[in-house]
Structure 1
Amino acid sequence: MVNIQFLGNACIDIISKQDHIIIDPVFLSAPQKGIEKVFLTHHHSDHVSQEKLKEILNDYKKEDKELEIFGPLCVYEELNIDFTLIQPNSRINLNDGFVEVFGYFSLN
């Protein structure tokens, strides 16, 4: 079973038996603890903030595991944070499935 929760703005928290990911973590409601992966769709402030990423690192990430962050080049250029760059038409494997990245365009 997969539990999907909308946490406000554009934030989605997805929890399965073997994965816990959060997408666009500018949440209004607190996510559950144990986050392993963060996916950032683009750099707008209602989708990503350094403060929320720090909050996840300090309060919500899975203990004893490094938080993996994925995003497009525009997020890196805006925030200059260390993460895995995603490419259009790529696939990120999870324990319980995968995330498929479709083509995207600039949102500047």
Structure 2
Amino acid sequence: MTKIKYIEFDGTEHSVDVPNGLSVMEGAVRYTIPGIDGDCGGACACATCHVYVEGEWAGKIPPMEELERDMLDFAFDVKENSRLSCQIKVDDTLDGLVVRTPARQY
């Protein structure tokens, strides 16, 4: 289990233990974290799991692939630290990861 902190747009924090092997999006859906929808079920086909990866964590997760970059074109308020949470697999190296949800999803 890896501790992930999800911070809603309004500042509400949710710290949960996500099983290794799941995606950050699957953890959010499992624990009903508001602001991460995951409408496509994690197929990188909808951008409704858009998050902002906090600070130093951006350099600790695997780099974005082209499909994810293309799907972010459909997200609102994309920033340099934007990622699709369905593309971030949880493992022990991500213990303490902090992600923020945008004001709205697509």
Using the size of structure 1 for normalisation, the TM-score is 0.29
Q: Which has the higher strand share?
A: 1
Higher relative contact order, chain-length normalized (CA < 8 Å, sep 6+):
2
Using the size of structure 2 for normalisation, the TM-score is 0.30
